[in-house]
Amino acid sequence: MVSEKLETKLNELLNGELEAHHIYLQAAAWASAMKFEGAKNFLLVHAAEELTHMLKFFTFLDDLGAPIALKALPKPVIDATTIKALFVRVQEEERKVSQHIFEAIDLARAEHSYETDQFLQWFAAEQHEEEKLCRQILDKIELIGEGPNSQYFVDKELGALAKVD
């Protein structure tokens, strides 16, 4: 059993994962429209992962016998004009999600909800990996630079990353 405040926070995180799913999906649509096939596949893989994260929250709340409340999601807006700008946007979103996870861990600890704390540790580790991946992608984009065919090479790298995991 967890407090109502913690139930609300966990529901916010569940909805946050759904929102992340929407953002990755819209980003994949952006990549497709720009003819970045590799980036599209990479972003679709991540969109699917975000859904599995949402389901982890669903199951955790459900196992607690806590209410589950889905919210209307904001329309995802991808206004990037380059693949670099797109990944800067993705990185910002991931940082926001990490912040919310850490706030929830603080709350779980303050309420001595050890099961919630332990459950959320998986997400803290996952966010660490995702933020690392964003940084590595942005580093790679920087290394490839802006020479001829650079967009092609960036897309190829992202396509290769879509196959890992």
Q: Which residues make up the interface to ligand OFO (CB under 6 A)?
A: 17, 20, 50, 53, 94, 97, 126-127, 130
The nearest distance, CB 7 to ligand OFO, in angstroms, is 19
The nearest distance, CB 24 to ligand OFO, in angstroms, is 8
Non-local (6+) Cβ contacts of 10 within 8 A are 2, 57, 60, 61, 66, 104, 116
Toward ligand OFO, which CB reaches closer, 6 or 54? 54
The nearest distance, CB 127 to ligand OFO, in angstroms, is 6
DSSP 72: P
The nearest distance, CB 43 to ligand OFO, in angstroms, is 12
Toward ligand OFO, which CB reaches closer, 7 or 50? 50
The nearest distance, CB 56 to ligand OFO, in angstroms, is 9
Q: Label residues 101-115 b or e (16+ Cβ within 10 Å = b).
A: beebbebbeeeebee
For residues 69 and 61, give the distance between their C-alpha atoms in angstroms, rounded to a whole number.
10
User: Per 3-state DSSP, what percentage of the chain is helix, strand, and coil (rounded to 5)?
Assistant: 80, 0, 20
**C-alpha distances in Å from residue 17, one per residue of 24, 35, 73, 84, 102:** 11, 27, 11, 23, 15
